[in-house]
Amino acid sequence: MKLTWFGASTFRIHAGGAIVVVEPEAAGAGIDRTELVSGADQVVAFGDRDIVADWKPRAALRPLEVEEQNRPPEVVALDGDTLVIDADGEAPVVVARGGLPKLGKWADRAVFVLSGHELAGRLESLLEGASPRLLALAGDDGELEKAFAAARDKLDGTGMIALERALAVEV
């Protein structure tokens, strides 16, 4: 899986052999939106999906389902500010630009990508109810400093990284 942040709530996510671009209209200055979405299998925005409050990861393919190996990633909205990308062979990716809704047990094996403001508070709230596989934070330096300081003693095995604009990170 590869994550690239382009500013605000814009991400390009390579997962399960597909490319999903989230919120290309919000990309920062200097980002060519045409280039950003070129080659994307899906382009999604917050609020353009029906909300699925009780979402669960889809079942993994069985060996006999070889012809279905290239299923496109499922992209669902948990609320107006939270999307989940569920791609075959990858952990669910939760992309959130605001507070998080109630999450299921699946959150402990998910990758969370948090962007925007109040990262520290949102991060602390998340870590009270889940121990995700990885936290990827996208924000300005001040927000990141506060978030890392707030989460330092609460990670309990969860990895945490800061994303830089236009720099892809393989996870």
Distances (CA, A) of 117 to 3, 99, 146: 19, 10, 11
Q: What is the pLDDT of residues 120-162, one digit of tens each?
A: 999 999 999 999 999 999 999 999 999 999 999 999 999 999 9
Quote the domain boundaries for residue 77.
2-170
Q: Which helix (H) or strand (E) holds 136?
A: strand 134-138
Domain count, the chain: 1
Tell me what pLDDT residue 63 has.
77
- 42-44/159-162 β-pairing: unpaired
Decide if 171 contacts 14 (C-beta within 8 A): no
CA–CA separation, 23 and 77 (whole Å): 13
Task: State percent of the chain over pLDDT 90.
Answer: 89
State the pTM of this model: 0.95
User: What's the 3-state SS for 145-160?
Assistant: HHHHHHHCCCCCCCEE
pLDDT value, residue 29: 87
